[in-house]
Structure formats: C-alpha cells, structure tokens
Amino acid sequence: MAITIKYKILFSIDLLHHYFLDKGVDHYESLNADQKIKQLAFYDIRNFITLTPTPSCLEIIKNHNLIFRPTPTGILIGSKIDPDNDQPFVDISIDTKFTFILNLKSQSFFNFTALPLNFGSPQCFYFNNLEKDSSSFLNLSKNPEVFSEGLAYQAGSIVSNADGSEIFTIKNNTDNASNIDRLKDTPAPIFDNNEDYKKGDIILINIAGIDQLFESKIDDPVDTPVDLPGNDWNKLRDLPLNYANKNDLIHIRKPIHNYSLPSDDIEATATLSEVQSNGLLLIKTDAIENTNSFQFDWRTIPSGLYQFEVSDNNLLDADPGKIISQEVFYLNNAAFQSPPFGIIEIYASRSDDNNYALLQTNGTFKTTESQFILRFKNRATIWRYIFREAQAVDGADDVSIENGDDKILITNEIKPLTKNGLIEINKGENQLPNPNSNMIKPETNNIFSEIYL
C-alpha cells in the first residue's frame, strides 16, 4: 500500500526589487496580471543577492521535518503534516526562530537601490516579523522615519508623513527640508472619472483618507471604485507600500564589547536581554563600579537580537536620567565572519495572535500561508546628458541647461532607474536615452546618472 506524505508551506519570504520589476515609469503594482507574469518571468533574486539559512537554522529545519527551497523570488519553508490533524508533524515550539543571511552578489546594488550610500560600520539591515501590526501583507521592513520640515535629508531618502499613510522620496540633498523637497510614492495612476478603463487596469483612489489600489473587473466600468459586492472594481490593497529603509539598519556587536560610562564616579548596572517573541528575557547582569571603562564578555551567549541597557544605581526608576544608555543590536558570536548586507529572522510565535505569527495559538496551520514580503525601492537620480556641442531647449522639454553650460542638460525631476522599459525624456522631437545603473555620482545637491552623447 502506497504511503502519501503531505507537506504544507509553513512560510515563504519574497524579495521584490522594483529596479527589476517596474516597467519604465510603470510601477510593478500598477501592471495587470499578464504584465506582472511577464516581469516575473525574467526576475530572479539570485542574480543580485543570496538568501541562505544559517547553520543553526538548517539544524532547526532538519529536526522539525521541514524542507527548505530557494525560489526565483526568495525562499519557502515547507512542513510535513501530521496525518491526524492540520499541524506540523513535529511540534514547532514557541521559541523557535528561523535566521537567514542576505549577502550581495551585485557590486552595483546600492547604485540602483534607494538605500543610504554611506552608513556606519559595523551595521547591517535587520528584518523580522515582530512588532508589526496585523496586516494581510506581511511586510518585514520597518516604517520609515517621519518627515519633518526644517531638517537635513539626503537625496533618495524614504520618509513618511506623520500618520504613516503616505510614503515619499526626498528629491534632493537639503539642510532645510520643505514639502516641495519630497515626491510622493504613487504606485498607480490616480482614478479619473473621465478615463476609459479596461479590464485589469489598476488605479489609485483615496477613500476616507486612505490611498487604495483597485483593479477593474470589466471593460468600461461604470462604478466608482469601492469595496462592495457587485462593484465594477476589485480592491487589491491599502497603501502605502513598505520598502527597506534607513530605520532597518542595526549595529552588529562582537562578543567582547568595550563600554565607557560618562564618568568614573557612577555606580551602574548593565543588563543584557534577549529579544524574544513575547518580550525580553534577561540573560546577564553586570555591576560597573569605580571605573568609567568596562569590558563585557558575551562569548558564551548565542548570536541573536539583544537589548543592552545601562542604568544609574543612584537614581530612582522614575528619574528621566536613570537609563544612561539603551541599544538593541545583533550579537555576532560566530554566526558570520564579516557583517552581511542583511539578516532576516522569522519567529514562530508572537505575544499576540496576529497575521505575522506562523501558526495559530493551538499549533495548527493558519488558513492562509505566511508570505513575508521585503521590498526594495529603485533609486531615482537626476539624469545628466553631456554633449560635444551646445544644445537648445525650451519649456516643453524634459531637460534644462545645467548652470549655464549649454553642453550639459539635466532632467527637471529625479527619474527612477529601471532595468526594463523605456522612460521618455523629450528634447524637442528627439528622445534622449536612459542611463544604466553602472555608475552614479553623489554630489553636493543630488545624485546624478551621466550619459555622454
């Protein structure tokens, strides 16, 4: 008699990079189903990044009768099913954590990715499924920093408005930012009652203060997009989209860590706590007395995410100066030889039972698989065209003369870098070419992509 062994997807991680997935100025999320399939047909993250489980993660996979499979968009973890109920064949304990390492394969990754060009070392990007609000789209990145007028920003930085309902790209380097220095992320055309839409067209509409994406169910829809049965439109999702950003950076600490107090007359207590799905677990406490310099030895503590806190013993808990320093960092205790580009950790459970948890509280599979998404926004730059001869432009052109030199033209706005599709840059009756991503030039006021003509 044949024995059938069944598996279910426990979770998957998909990396969506819009440099590869967008089609010119058309955002991937604005493409219809057939167009998305065509874009995905040539998409494989293994061309620019590796996503691999750590040795300890592979041991967890083996011990729990799980399977690991790379995919063109990321990875998936499958679980053997218990034949008597809808749960993993081997129970997955609440403290189980799957750790994956991201390493870059493309030397020009930061050229075409909207991430900081310079950040302190040793740091890496860190993503997990904790501290995320319940959502049908399981984004692994944190919310970007909130835009504040008057502050300094670097061109290409991703920011949000105060309530996080809108995402923007900073258009140019600025020491005194205002609203005109930011460009809203608009992943689809805004709905227009006068437009003739076809089946599969995707639009953006704001309903009750929330930007939403809708897909037309039919040609020439009569209805205004709304999420109701029988409407001519199908709601796809609420916006904004989440992209990897500066807030996802984290420090990496070695197991021997040197620390200095502000002065040597402070008596302090240092605590190291592991960040777990249900909160902090105290791992180690050290007393710091009669010295302002102290060395911590964490060599017996496994790699992972930790909170390190130093408090002044002479102050009451309610005193705002009680906490001298506090930091969440990733402890590297032989998990990797050199800092990777990124770390992804998927915790099996959470302190709550929202969609980011892998299983239901009773240990059975959820009704929908956990598909975690990590998006990378493509970088946008000013395109600079350098000619051998003087050029003339007019107000209808997409370019203008730079600093009075009529042999150098620049685009009037930042333009996204994409691998596929042509972005129209009009100069008179001519179309100017698009730059590639092999080189970008950070300068005082912006980041430039150059083409010699």
The span from the CA of 285 to the CA of 270, in Å, is 6
For residue 440, tell me if it sits in a domain. Answer: yes
Please state the domain count of the chain: 4
Is 26 in the same domain as 117?
yes
Is 302 in the same domain as 359?
no
Is 119 in the same domain as 50?
yes
The span from the CA of 228 to the CA of 184, in Å, is 28
For residue 163, tell me if it sits in a domain. Answer: no
Q: What is the pLDDT of residue 1?
A: 44
Is 208 in the same domain as 225?
yes
Please identify, among 274, 297, 331, the residue that sits at the C-terminal boundary of a domain: 331
CATH of residue 297's domain is 2.60.40.180
Q: Decide if 150 contacts 423 (C-beta within 8 A).
A: no
Q: What is the pLDDT of residue 288?
A: 87
Is 371 in the same domain as 388?
no
Please identify, among 350, 376, 402, the residue that sits at the C-terminal boundary of a domain: 376
> How many C-alpha atoms does 6 have within 13 Å on its Cβ side?
9
Is 327 in the same domain as 355?
no
Is 358 in the same domain as 416?
no
For residue 361, tell me if it sits in a domain. Answer: yes
In this structure, what token pair is assigned to residue 215? 């897909």
For residue 389, tell me if it sits in a domain. Answer: yes
Q: Taken in order 432, 436, 438, 444, is the CA torsion positive or negative?
A: positive
For residue 89, tell me if it sits in a domain. Answer: yes
For residue 175, tell me if it sits in a domain. Answer: no
Q: What is the pLDDT of residue 17?
A: 98
Q: What is the pLDDT of residue 337?
A: 81
Site of tokens 């009451």: 316
For residue 154, tell me if it sits in a domain. Answer: no
The span from the CA of 268 to the CA of 257, in Å, is 16
The β-bridge partners of 268 are 288, 312
Is 212 in the same domain as 100?
no
DSSP 147-187: P-TTS-B-TT-EEE-TTSS-EEEE-S-BSS--GGGEEE---
Is 103 in the same domain as 69?
yes
Is 34 in the same domain as 116?
yes
For residue 51, tell me if it sits in a domain. Answer: yes
Is 323 in the same domain as 348?
no
| pLDDT lower than 50: segments of the chain | 1
Q: What is the pLDDT of residue 353?
A: 65
The span from the CA of 83 to the CA of 146, in Å, is 49
Q: Taken in order 104, 108, 113, 116, is the CA torsion positive or negative?
A: positive
* 3-state percent breakdown (helix, strand, coil) of the chain, nearest 5: 10, 40, 50
Q: Which domain holds residue 211?
A: 202-238
Is 429 in the same domain as 311?
no
